[in-house]
Amino acid sequence: MSEISVESQVDVQALKEKVANGCRILAKLGLSDYLGHVSARIPGTNHVLIKARGLDMGNLLDMTPDKVVTVDLEGKQVDGEGLVPPDEVVLHTEIFKVRPDVMSVVHTHQQFSTVLGDLGIRILPMQGVMAAIAAKDIPVYESSLKVVTHEQGADVAQTLGDKWAIHLRNHGVCTAGDSVEQAVVFAIWLEEQAKLTWMASAVGTPRGMRQDEAELQIKDALGPMTKRWKYYLSLLDS
């Protein structure tokens, strides 16, 4: 891969805006506060855009493109004067190393998904196209510690495998996608299926969709995210 070219700067700025908007959407929906991060691989390079360190950035509802920092695949900062990459930058970069199909990673501490992960209760495919994210079992990384070393990040990436989501036991979740839009929407969908699984468990034994029908949802889920992204962006105006 080549390094960032002058000609690609306009595209990089647009990608920074998507990262910032992804953070804002997650915060608007209560899936993040000042913690958690969205990242994006810069196409054609060994560089990754990621939200800067949470304690410095504050409320993710206030996230802006100028608070996005660039790192290489080792997690080393290559631009963003005055910014600091998040402690868990390797959680993202180690996934990018082994998954060339992944263009964006999201890490949140969303509550319902985290609780069901702790309980060892499968998040079931419960409703519509959103069920695609839970059509197959979600793997679990069995550590509650922050992922701050390359070894930890590599373990997470190995556990994730070819899936779209992973539980970080007593910590949170990660979702991966072929775009910022997809990774963010997958995080939203995961929490929605977790809520429905939780609600159904409160009154009985949830069944979830038939496996064959749940897997049919995947085709729709992998389609363009443009209209879905536009909807979630519209929530930022309310």
Mean pLDDT by 10 residues, the chain (238 residues): 48 96 97 94 96 82 94 95 93 98 97 96 94 94 96 98 97 96 97 97 94 87 86 92
- For residues 226, 9, 24, 47, the Cα torsion angle rounded to the nearest 10 degrees is 100
Listed in sequence order, the residues at least 6 apart from 80 whose beta carbon sits closer than 8 Å to its beta carbon are 52, 68, 69, 70
pLDDT for residue 190: 98
pLDDT for residue 223: 73
Q: Does residue 108 belong to any structural domain of this protein? A: yes
Range of the domain at 10: 6-230
Q: Does residue 69 belong to any structural domain of this protein? A: yes
Active site (annotated) includes residue 215: no
pLDDT for residue 219: 80
121 is written with which tokens?
A: 């209760």
pLDDT for residue 8: 55
d(CA 162, CA 102): 10
The active-site residue out of 88, 181, 191, 192 is 88
Q: 166: domain CATH number?
A: 3.40.225.10
pLDDT for residue 9: 61
Q: How many domains is the chain partitioned into structurally?
A: 1
